[in-house]
Structure 1
Amino acid sequence: MDQQPAVATSGSPERLDQAHGGRVRAAAARYGVPFAEWLDLSTGINPHGYTVGEVPAAAWARLPELDDGLEVVAASYYGTSELMPVPGSQAAIQTLPQLRQGAARVGILEPSYNEHAKAWRCAGHEVLPLDADAIAAAMPQLDVLVLVNPNNPTGQRFSRDTLLAWHAELAARGGWLIVDEAFMDVTPDQSLADAATREGLVVLRSLGKFFGLAGARVGCVIAAAAMREGLAARLGPWTIAGPARWAAAQALADHAWQVRMRDTLKAAGQRLESLLNGYGLSPTGGTALFQWRQMDAPAVFQDRLGAQGILVRRFDAPASVRFGLPGSEAEWERLERALESL
């Protein structure tokens, strides 16, 4: 791996240490591999996502209604009615910092999903990047603690007892604990959703990863009423399109699919871990939906796979790459051939 592959010189060969996964068109321009030929492993989205049936015509023709059943099935799925559907958890991530009065000191795990830190900084708050081992010692300094659990991209998990203890410490002085559970659906028993009625505790959930419905842009905020009301006032009415609400309700209500998919993804995550182990790429961490590997020269590694039309997510701090799941046997075989060639 001492040489980088040639890349396309036509167009704009964007850097692919991007803020998010995806952007296959940018990869196609960079590496000269046609868009349709890419295997995108960069997002952590379930490649076996929920199959949405034919959307009723009324969902397209009418303004979205709050009594369409989405809140009811979401309450059953998450185990609490103290929730509010939002247009993707990203909407809540960007809006929550605006609800915090005064300049707060906000502890955020690093590395983690970078939109959290960005949103708090943009709202004028002070962000303190924290290593997981430093959180407990930093707690007396913090007004807000934001964690992704399991963490993206490292896969690190925090126990319910630890999180609830941190929440109690923050709440005692009016602080908040925000837990982004975008990758929690495979292990719902570890969720804090049932505890999020406590003041100062906010849980974010998404239908983009486990359900594979990233394009629908649907998530849920689980929190006490005052927090939800503040968010609703800023987001305004009709935030989720009617067809997206309908699709989300179908997915959240399909218990049999959820059970089967948890087993499928656990097996696939183990398979990906074993595959990487076999080529000297033992994961540093991961979840059922992705595996993360720290390494020297991740840009070179990304380029070598990119030249073969396989896109992985690259991180520079710490130097690492993240692999999502292939979706078919042909894709698994393609990834293995690519790893064998490195």
Structure 2
Amino acid sequence: MKTNVNDYVSPNSARAPAASGQDKKSVNLKQYLPSISTLGPLFALLAASIFFATQSDRFLTGQNFSLILQQVMVVGVIAIGQTLIILTAGIDLSCGMAMALGSVVMTKLCVDMGMNPYLAVLCGMAACVLIGYINGALVTMVKLPPFIVTLGTLNIAFAVTQLYSNAQTVTGVPDAMTFLGNTFQLGQTNITYGTVLMLGLYVLTWLFLRDTAPGRHIYAVGNNPEAARLTGIATNKVLVGVYMMAGLFYGIASLLSVSRMGVGDPQGGQTDNLDSITAVVLGGTSLFGGRGHILGTLIGVLIVGVFRNGLTLMGVSSVYQILVTGILVILAVATDQLTHKKG
């Protein structure tokens, strides 16, 4: 007997036995409350913010918070795609170099070939989606482990980026490509349009995962791919779709990178894969798949940004910033491992 596909829901979806009166109100309320896996990182973010506020008078300012968001917006958008892949029990090491390739493609087509900037942006995003499709096809059709596949495409994307750009930064980017790096004033604080876009993408992805059947399918495939297949879910199509969707987010991150830096940088993105994985893990998404929250990833991104910003304000060397980030990752993965074993 087939199980109803809607039995597979995200951990934060409303799925409970019929209730009435006060019980029904309680169930409806729980639907909108943060999950325990999200509350932990949130408390960590608040604790870090309180600590750095006591160490520097400049930390608790609107301009500094705006700066933190600007610094994390590229990795933040990459981390959305990384979250979708990790929810399916996969991983993507190629995301940073896919982003760099996308930024070089869109800037070179526009600057060197004279292509319309909006069309050039679409071409850069298409290059990132193509990498996502290749990753998904190799994982599903050839049955290669995601780690190996994306490690290979990381090197391929790096080589193609260097060859296509001649290892030279692309300058002279038109204003149409840097618009998202512009700011508007909110009170006394300047906020970039790219920051607003990043936050908007998190909200849209949250709604997609929580309220749509394809979003629930992602959780189902990550939780138990064989059980998902038996319920009628086309698991291979879901996986390919997830990798392509992640590629689209990398393409958007390419545009944000160009907007922030004002150039197409072939050397960019080399550590963004690790930074995005760090953010996803710190946000409470399980590396075993099927469990996690996209808003937790946003909190994880902010934790990394707050630690780096706070330590910089304290005058701490960047080496120690990397050390602290590494310790946080190990603690988060250890917690996930223990929780998985206990489950």
Q: Give the alignment's TM-score, normalised by structure 1.
A: 0.28
More strand by share: 1
More helix by share: 2
Q: Give the alignment's TM-score, normalised by structure 2.
A: 0.28
